[in-house]
Amino acid sequence: MKKLPFLSLLFIILGCNHKPQDQIDNPSTTNTELPTVFAAFETEPVSANPDDDAADDPAFWYNAEQPMLSLIIGSDKKLGIDLYNLQGKRLMTYEVGRINNVDIRQNVLGGIDLVGGTHRTKVSMDFWTVNKSDMTLQAAGSIATDLQDVYGFCLYEDPNTKECFAFVNSKTGAIDQWKLEYESGTIVGTKVRTLQLAGQVEGMVADDAHRTLYVGLEDGGVFRFKAGATDPVEAQFIAGSDSSNTEIVYDIEGLTIYATGSASGYLIASSQGNNTYAVFDREGMNEYIGSFGIVDSLVDAVQETDGIHATNFALGDAFPNGIFICQDGFNFDDDKHLAQNFKVVDWRLIAARIEAMGGKK
């Protein structure tokens, strides 16, 4: 049933071959031997110089009443946090400092939509709530960590107890888990345990339904931990997530989950060294399914992605199965090099690629 629209999209890809661009100035995605998709739109560039590594990690706020008015939340690790609409227009900039990674959980801790991020200058986790009436962020406190530095960040809600946690990591490989509480407009926290990987980590995502935390070891692959506060601290390596898989080239960067059901779906990792995204089964042993890249089409190809975020919420006719959001390390408009930004892909294109790879629906 979905074959025909996909074929017409494929035609758009094949039919939109731009003139060859300067390979030095504008790096096109090179891994054309792997399956490819293209972005539907891109956000406005962050407020940085084109050569600055500034945009980093996205999150997504779902507007249940008006899905097309949902928000892309993007960290600018030199400046703060930007909010974008689903046309890519920047709506707000919060100059709150060097926010590296951001994550969100909606309707937690008694009904708030909680955004959190790592603040590298303060070595803290900073929090905001989404004010649903005007879609702005409201500061909700900051928790100082005792880590050497803060880098990766994600949120986790225990599906049974509804307790909410933050995971924060340091470049040393230490990952602290904090239990969060919301008290008169402020997030407060208690550190409950420390996990450890042997090397530089950053990208993390919690799969709430599976009570699992995934962590990317930048030069070692993806590891999984049980996410409960009193669970064993042992890490399990995900087979096929390291460089023994020739379709993965370090660094491993952002991680995200795309749900196709309450338990099913995909774990996706940014394979920064070959400008692709590695897809794993969300269930079982997280079997590797395949990888894809994002090539030039309506907007430019995507390279050296840091953070990624996928959502399965239906967003109007344009994105009935949700979107995949990723940072682009080299943002070009034709031959003009602009500051970094975020690209957004119609999930249906990725789903078609995964289906062609033999992955589960």
Q: Where on the chain is the footprint of Ca ion (CB under 5 A)?
A: 53, 56-57, 59, 103, 202, 299-300, 306, 328, 330-331, 333
Select from 259, 261, 281 the least CA-distant residue to 269.
281
DSSP 292-317: EEEESSSS----S---EEEE---BTT
Assigned token pair, 253: 């960067």
DSSP 50-69: TTS--EEEEEEE--SSSGGG
The SS3 of residue 217 is strand
CA 335 to CA 139: how far, in whole Å? 39
The nearer residue to Ca ion, 238 or 301, going by C-beta atoms, is 301
Q: How far is the CB of 303 from Ca ion (least distance, A)?
A: 5
The nearer residue to Ca ion, 98 or 210, going by C-beta atoms, is 98
The nearer residue to Ca ion, 176 or 306, going by C-beta atoms, is 306
Assigned token pair, 328: 């682009």
Q: How far is the CB of 317 from Ca ion (least distance, A)?
A: 24
Q: Give ∠ CA 23-26-32 in degrees, rounded to 5.
A: 65
What H or E segment, with its residue span, contains residue 347? Answer: helix 347-356
Q: How far is the CB of 7 from Ca ion (least distance, A)?
A: 26
The nearer residue to Ca ion, 272 or 321, going by C-beta atoms, is 272
Q: How far is the CB of 243 from Ca ion (least distance, A)?
A: 16
Q: How far is the CB of 159 from Ca ion (least distance, A)?
A: 20
Contact 175, 215 (CB under 8 A): yes
Q: How far is the CB of 328 from Ca ion (least distance, A)?
A: 4
User: For Ca ion, which residue has the nearest CB?
Assistant: 306
Contact 90, 73 (CB under 8 A): no
Q: How far is the CB of 160 from Ca ion (least distance, A)?
A: 24
360 forms beta bridges with none
CA 361 to CA 39: how far, in whole Å? 21
Contact 123, 142 (CB under 8 A): no
Taking each helix axis as running N to C, give the angle between helix 347-356 and helix 3-15, from 0 to 180 degrees, rounded to the nearest 10: 100
The nearer residue to Ca ion, 82 or 300, going by C-beta atoms, is 300
The nearer residue to Ca ion, 63 or 272, going by C-beta atoms, is 272
The nearer residue to Ca ion, 149 or 360, going by C-beta atoms, is 149
